[in-house]
């Protein structure tokens, strides 16, 4: 069976449809949402399938959207139509088994049974083995600058079906809709495309092979690559030679201002860093802690006029996902400190809701405060942030109070995740 026919089998398409509908996602340039896709599929699929089999299908362009980056600035995403996400997902399911076995053991991004946690754990092993410096490479606008000719050459070494090659090429060149105008795409693979992470790994596997041939210790997660060496001098030498390799062989540029040779404790990798106390520990990076606190501030902003129940629901949704990732950290005290700060923010929310002195006294009495304690808070001239840490407030709105309200307990959640590993 030819590859295109294999992609278009009923079983493969059924699996692809389930994944695309499960992921939901925004509409593309045609405005069709995942909720409406069954109707479009019924009406258009036979014609599209015929074009795919004949090698004549032309994907629609992608819708350009900007999303904020964690460290500031914005990242451009290209959102394909739901139909094109469906076709790309069907392709991905058949291309992955072809390419993934060829990928490096130390490549962790967007691969089956591999994760960012695996990459961070491997980094820790390198440091424990005495590789005390890291070459932290930042590829400048990687997804936007992928060279189509180099990528298609690498794909063609494993894919012989010209219809599939043509389709991949068409997806790479699909136009971009921005401000109502569609422009052609001569380089790059749009972030947001289902197949883009695989194509990125196909290209950057060349970097992995080069690093392995030189005997380097490294971890790569998509375009985030760290190389571990034993001295700063060796690191500077590796950084220069690999920068030259990327430029000459893959036409990729290293962002010199963001790349560095340094101690791993001074760098972040996939949201984590390291510290040495009695032993080497994985910690949540300072930047990641700042981001979670910024998000909590937003969700506990008193100007957001919602009920406490809705606020707790929003916080729990975000923080449970956050815990699932950052429980890799070895330092429970970071989580404990954040947990205490979260409850203080929630006490602040309550005080904002109780604006009048009489209201504060009444509500505090309901929670078990004495008449004198309630009056001291009710008539206090201190700001709400200072009041949120007073013994009287802490006593009636402590850990048990927020647990009864349903707020996630970060320390308990952290320990539950750790025990499950």
**Range(s) of the chain covered by CATH 3.30.70.270:** 106-147+187-270
Nearest to 87 by CA among 143, 165, 167: 167
- Measured distance CA(175)–CA(199) in Å, rounded: 18
* Locus of tokens 């189509």: 148
In CATH, what number does 106-147+187-270 get? 3.30.70.270
Q: Answer for the pair 369, 392: CB distance below 8 angstroms, yes or no.
A: yes
Q: Which residues pair with 230 in a beta bridge?
A: none
pLDDT confidence of residue 177: 79
Tokens read off for 338: 């954040």
- Measured distance CA(74)–CA(324) in Å, rounded: 25
pLDDT confidence of residue 71: 64
Nearest to 33 by CA among 15, 20, 43: 20
3 state SS of 110? coil
* Locus of tokens 């495309």: 193
* pLDDT of the chain, 421 residues: tens digit per residue: 899 999 999 999 999 999 999 999 899 999 999 999 999 999 999 999 999 999 999 999 999 887 777 666 677 788 999 999 999 999 999 999 999 999 999 999 999 999 999 999 999 999 999 999 999 999 999 999 999 999 999 999 999 999 999 999 999 998 887 777 777 788 888 888 999 999 999 999 999 999 999 999 999 999 999 999 999 999 999 999 999 999 999 999 999 999 999 999 999 999 999 999 999 999 999 999 999 999 999 999 977 788 999 999 999 999 999 999 999 999 999 999 999 999 999 999 999 999 899 999 999 999 999 999 999 999 999 999 999 999 999 899 999 999 999 999 999 999 999 997 7
Q: What radius of gyration, in Å, describes the C-alpha atoms of the chain?
A: 26
Helical spans, DSSP H, in 24-75: 37-54
Beta strands 176-178 and 62-68 are: parallel
**Beta-strand runs (E) in 192-250:** 217-221, 224-229
* Locus of tokens 């490096």: 104
φ, ψ dihedrals at 4, nearest 5°: -60, -40
The CA angle 327-291-197, to the nearest 5 degrees, is: 75
**Among positive and negative, which fits the CA dihedral 360, 366, 367, 372?**
positive
């Amino acid at each position: 069976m030819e590859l295109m026919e294999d992609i278009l089998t009923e079983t493969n398409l059924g699996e692809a449809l389930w994944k695309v509908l499960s992921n939901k996602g925004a509409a593309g340039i045609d405005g069709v949402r995942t909720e409406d896709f069954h109707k479009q599929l019924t009406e258009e699929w036979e014609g599209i399938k015929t074009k795919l089999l004949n090698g004549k299908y032309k994907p629609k362009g992608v819708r350009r959207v900007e999303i904020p980056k964690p460290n500031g600035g914005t990242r451009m995403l290209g959102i394909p139509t739901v139909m094109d996400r469906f076709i790309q997902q069907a392709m991905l399911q058949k291309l992955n088994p072809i390419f993934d076995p060829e990928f490096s053991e130390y490549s962790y991004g967007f691969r089956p049974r591999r994760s960012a946690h695996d990459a961070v754990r491997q980094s820790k092993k390198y440091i424990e083995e005495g590789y005390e410096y890291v070459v932290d490479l930042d590829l400048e606008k990687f997804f936007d600058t992928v060279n189509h000719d180099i990528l298609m050459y690498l794909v063609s070494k494993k894919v012989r079906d010209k219809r599939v090659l043509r389709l991949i090429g068409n997806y790479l060149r699909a136009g971009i809709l921005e401000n109502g105008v569609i422009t052609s795409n001569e380089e790059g693979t749009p972030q947001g495309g289902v197949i883009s992470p695989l194509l990125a790994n196909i290209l950057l596997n060349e970097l992995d092979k080069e690093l392995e041939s030189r005997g380097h210790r490294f971890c790569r997660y998509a375009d985030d690559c760290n190389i571990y060496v034993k001295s700063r001098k060796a690191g500077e030498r590796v950084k220069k030679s690999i920068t030259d390799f990327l430029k000459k062989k893959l036409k990729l540029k290293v962002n010199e201002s963001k790349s560095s040779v340094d101690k791993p404790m001074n760098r972040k990798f996939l949201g984590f860093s390291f510290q040495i106390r009695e032993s080497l520990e994985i910690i949540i990076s300072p930047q990641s802690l700042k981001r979670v606190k910024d998000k909590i501030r937003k969700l506990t902003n008193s100007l957001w006029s919602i009920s406490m129940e809705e606020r707790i629901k929003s916080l729990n949704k975000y923080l449970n996902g956050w815990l699932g990732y950052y429980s890799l950290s070895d330092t429970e005290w970071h989580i404990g400190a954040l947990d205490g700060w979260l409850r203080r923010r929630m006490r602040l929310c309550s005080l904002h809701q109780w604006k009048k002195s009489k209201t504060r006294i009444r509500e505090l009495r309901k929670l078990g405060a004495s008449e004198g304690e309630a009056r001291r808070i009710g008539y206090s001239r201190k700001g709400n942030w200072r009041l949120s840490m007073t013994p009287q407030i802490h006593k009636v709105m402590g850990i048990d109070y927020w647990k009864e309200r349903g707020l996630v307990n970060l320390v308990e959640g952290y320990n539950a995740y750790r025990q499950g590993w």
